Amino acid sequence: MTTEPESRPPSSWWTHLTLQTSPFLQLLNKSHTSMTPSVFFVLCDALRRPVCRTGDSTTMSLKRKPIHQQRLHVSSRNFSSLSMGAYSIPKISTGISQGAPVTPVTINRSLLAPLKIDIDPAVQAVRTQEKEQIKSLNNRFASFIEKVRFLEQQNKMLETKWKLLQEQTATANNTEPMLKSYIAKLQKQLDLLNNDKQKLDMEKDFMHKNVANYQTKYEQESNKRNNAEMEFVMLKKDVDIGYLSKMNLHDMVSALSSEIMFFRAVYDEEIREMQESLKETSVVLQMDNSRGLNMDHVIAEVKAQYEEIAAHSRKEVENSYKTKFNQMAANADQYANELRTTKGEISGLTRTINHLRNEIEIAQVQRGNFEAKVAQAEQSGVEAVQDAKARIGDLEKALQRAKQGMARQIREYQELMNVKLALDIEISTYKKLLEGEEERLGQGSLVNIKMVPMKSVQVENHNTHTQRKPGPVFIKTVETQDTLYSQDRKDTADRM
């Protein structure tokens, strides 16, 4: 009678099975946490076959599933020896071995008796769930293997890049002193330019001070010149007034001289006419001889009176005109002195004005020269500052580029080191897993169970005594070899 064991969830089913089976299964129970999922699933599939009992002989019927059901969910089409490195991957193979007979194992029949457990209606769903979980686990394991291969390739590539970067770092270290010396030279040039700039700034300040002083002097001289011009205008007005007064006085003197000459001429003419009239006048007198008048004496008296009157009048006129003439001559002398003084002052002011004009022209020329020098100094200072700023900008840009390059290389180096560390951790983890699997499988590298005729074996059982017919036993052989995973278990079986 063949009994199909009841399916349980993976944990409870495995515990129940290990509690009721042989020490071989207990050994598997101890190592199922460290074995690979593929080996674990194959062994579980073998142990879940029905157990036939006939008489005193007990056999284990393990039927092979179809090849398409036993196919592992491992994708290894791109799994090369380069990605695996020096790590060994266990290989699963099936077959029947015709080696030496196996030592009989004493089995407790009570443990092989079917369990009386009610069938849960959700068994099919649980089985489907288990299959899906197994598929997902197989897929995850395949993805892990693919990831290991990819990470190993990345590790090789990163090691190559690391070597190249180390070589580049060595080359950069050779160029670093050159860059430092070049930067030092540029720094010296920058210091020289800063010193020149400071000197030019000092000269510029000195020139600005000189320009300010000359400008102050120029303004003072301009004010003096304006004051002198104003004084000159005032003096010119006074000179013009004096000159006009002098001309008026000259005109008055001329007029008075003409008038004096006229009056003299008139007076002389009157005297002459009077003398002529006196000479030519014939007086006819009828004399009364009876009275005996002396006419000569009368005429002489009249003549004397008129002469006295004419002399007195002439003296008065001469005195008055002489006084006026003397007064006008004194005024003319005074005006002449004032005119000479004014002319002297005008000539002095003219000389002062010419001297001031010459000084102003010289100051303007000096100011123009100083302004040209200041402009030239400012232009040269601006050009030097711009050149220095341009050089400083170029140096800062070069330094920034160098810093960015160094930061980028350091960042890439850190990223590579992080990736390398992660890869080393993963590689060490997978290496430990594979070494543990190899050690576990290396303890019993081959487990061969031959199909042998079963003898009647008495199994002690306090409850039941049943017998099973002897029959063939299909044994699956698990080998540990340094080979790769195969995508199809059919190919694995063919190679075996």
Q: How many CA atoms lie within 13 A of 494 on its CB side?
A: 7
What pLDDT is stored for residue 19 in this prediction? 42
- The one-character DSSP state at 481 is E
Q: What is the pLDDT of residues 234-259, one digit of tens each?
A: 888 888 888 888 788 888 888 888 88
Between the CA of residue 410 and those of 168, 338, 400, 416, 417, what are the distances in Å?
A: 12, 101, 15, 10, 10
What pLDDT is stored for residue 162 in this prediction? 87
Give strand ranges (E) for 385-463: none
Between the CA of residue 252 and those of 68, 128, 193, 255, what are the distances in Å?
A: 158, 155, 84, 5
Contact in structure between 193 and 367 (CB atoms under 8 Å): no
What pLDDT is stored for residue 226 in this prediction? 86
- Where in the chain do CATH 1.10.287 domains reside? 192-277+294-406
Beta pairing partners, 221: none
Which ranges of the chain have pLDDT less than 70?
1-121, 169-175, 278-295, 443-496
CB-count burial class (<10 Å; 0-12, 13-18, 19+) for 324: middle
Contact in structure between 215 and 367 (CB atoms under 8 Å): yes
Distance CA 354, CA 47 (A): 135
- Spatial neighbors of 139 by CB under 8 A, at least 6 apart, are 73
What pLDDT is stored for residue 489 in this prediction? 41
Identity at 43, one-letter amino acid code: L
Structure tokens given for 24 = 């071989």
Helix (H, G, I), strand (E, B) or coil at 185: helix
SS (H, E, C) 65-118: CCCCCCCCCCCCCCCCHHHHCCCCEEEECCCCCCCCCCCCCCCCHHHHCCCCCC
- Spatial neighbors of 43 by CB under 8 A, at least 6 apart, are 28, 478
- The one-character DSSP state at 456 is P
Q: What is the pLDDT of residues 262-297, one digit of tens each?
A: 888 887 887 887 777 766 555 555 555 545 556 677
Q: What is the pLDDT of residues 4-29, one digit of tens each?
A: 444 444 444 444 444 444 444 444 44
Q: β-pairing, 51-60 with 478-483?
A: unpaired
Give strand ranges (E) for 435-488: 468, 478-483
pTM, full prediction: 0.25
Class for the domain spanning 192-277+294-406: mainly alpha
